[in-house]
Each structure stands twice: as C-alpha cells, then as structure tokens.
Amino acid sequence: MSEPNAGKPIKPEDVAREELRKEREDFLKAFFRKGVELTEELVRERDQARQRLHFLEEENARLRAQVASGDAIRELLRKIEALEEEKNQVLHQYQEAQVASSRQVASFSEVENELANLANLYVASYQLHSSFEPRAVLQTLKDLLAQFIGAEAFAIYLHVRESEGLSLAASEGVNEGELLPVRPGDGLLGSVFSSGCAYLRDGDPRLGTMENPVAVIPLRLRDKVSGLLVIFRTLEQKHSFIPVDHELLKLLGAQAISALIAAQLFHSRDPNQPPLSSLSDLGI
C-alpha cells in the first residue's frame, strides 16, 4: 500500500512547516523537561529549607533552654550569694553573742567567787565572835586556820602581861618544845612582831619548815601588835594561797585579839567563872 502523498512532490512550505513543528515539539519537550527539573530542584530546595527550618527551630529551642537555664543559674547564684551573706551575718552575730555570753559567764563566775569569798569571810567572822569563852575563841581560830586556810602546821602567839615578847598560846602539827617565845626583832617572827608587817613567802606553801614558815600574820589590837599567827606549812592539797586566803588572814589579824578580849570580858562577868588576869590565863 503506498503513502497518500507518494509520488507527489514535497513543497518547500511543507518542509518548513514540518521543521517548525519539530522545533516546537523539541522546544516543548525541552521546556517541560526543564520545568520538571526546576520543579524537582524546587522540591529539593523546599525539603532542604524545611529541614533547615526544623534544625533552626530545634537550635532556637535549645538556645532558649540555655538562656532560661542561664537565667536560672544566675538567679541561683544570686540567691547563694545572698544566703552566704546572711550566713556570715548570722555567724558574726553568733560569735558576738558567744563572746557576750562568755563575758557574762565570766562575770557571773567572778560574782559567784566574790559571793563565796564574802560568805567565807562572814562565816569566819561570825564564828570568831560567836563564842563568849576565850578558850573556845582560840579553838575557833585554830579551826579557821585548818579548815579555811588549809594550814597543817601552825602556831598562835599572844602577848603576855609584864613581858615584852610573845608566848605560845596554841599550836597544831608541830612539837611545842621547839617553839620558843618571840622577842622583838629576833628572827623572822620577831621582825614581824616589831614592824607589824605581815609576811607571806612565795612558792609552794606545802614546803614550809619550822625555820622558814610560809606565813606570819600580826594580830593587832588597834595599832598595837598583840600576837602572831604563824603557818609553817599547808596541807598536801593546798598548793598556793589564793586571794580569799589573804583576805581571811587580814580578817583574823584584825579581829582575833578583839574577839579574845571580848570573850575574856564576858567570861570575867560570869559569877560562875573565875576571873582572868590576862591573856596568859587562856592556857599558855
């Protein structure tokens, strides 16, 4: 079967028309192919942009979280600094309160010691003047030396009428045969008797001896020395003389003779008791 136009001559315009049609088809194919490529590229770019957007959103969320966390940390740090400052203030106030409390405790302790010392002095004075019998006063004086002062070996000397010196009135813890009368200016005891100045030896009072007593206290009646308290050594537990001991020795030095004289006067008024001619009647 032959072509419809077979044998017919091809016209130039037909050739041109056919070429134009092919070019148009080629252009359309190229255009659509390019359109597909552009579309595919746009789709890829869209997907990439969507992924980038998602990444940026995640990054933004992460940065927001970091910022929020940083703000929280900064706030926590500010709170920590405030708490540290408050803690330092509380510690400072506590230290000041502790110092004040220590001062108060020390003050209370000092007051308690003072009250205890005053109580001891009051008891000693009361006991010294509570008896109206001279020998009882002398015994009280011995008890005060032993119990309040802690004397283990001691002697009490008193002035004897018609004598310039002092004679032994009582003793404890020593051999009375070794205790000679005290003469003015003769040795340590005589020097204290003459000067009226008390003697207290430095060092351990437990180590005193008959030749070197630890304390010699003048017993005064007004401005006159009428006796001596001589402490040769103290008890083992008495390591040193404390302030209240000094005060007590001063009290005994000032009041012992007056207590003895008051007891003697009361004793001489008792019709049932024989009169005492002098302090020598106390048993010297």
| Residue range 54-89, pLDDT digits in tens | 888 888 888 777 777 777 788 888 888 888 888 888
Tokens (6 digits) for 197: 């100045």
Residue 152 confidence (pLDDT): 93
Residue 272 confidence (pLDDT): 55
Average pLDDT, the chain: 82
Q: Among residues 192, 279, 178, 183, which one has the least CA distance to residue 230?
A: 192
Question: pTM here?
Answer: 0.59
Helix (H) or strand (E) run with residue 218 in it: strand 215-221
| Residue range 7-42, pLDDT digits in tens | 566 667 777 777 777 877 777 777 778 878 888 888
Residue 270 confidence (pLDDT): 55
Helix (H) or strand (E) run with residue 135 in it: helix 134-144
Residue 228 has pLDDT above 60, yes or no: yes
Report the 10 Å Cβ neighbour count for 230: 28
Of residues 260 and 278, the one with the higher pLDDT is 260
Going from the C-alpha of 250 to that of each of 79, 215, 217, the distances in angstroms are 66, 12, 8
| Residue range 142-188, pLDDT digits in tens | 999 998 899 999 999 998 766 788 889 889 999 888 888 899 888 99
* Confidence class for position 2, pLDDT limits 50, 70, 90: very low
Rounded-to-5 percentages of helix, strand, coil across the chain: 65, 15, 25
* Confidence class for position 269, pLDDT limits 50, 70, 90: low
Three-class SS of 136-175: HHHHHHHHHHHHHHCEEEEEEEEECCCCCCEEEEEEECCC
Looking at residue 197, its amino acid is: C
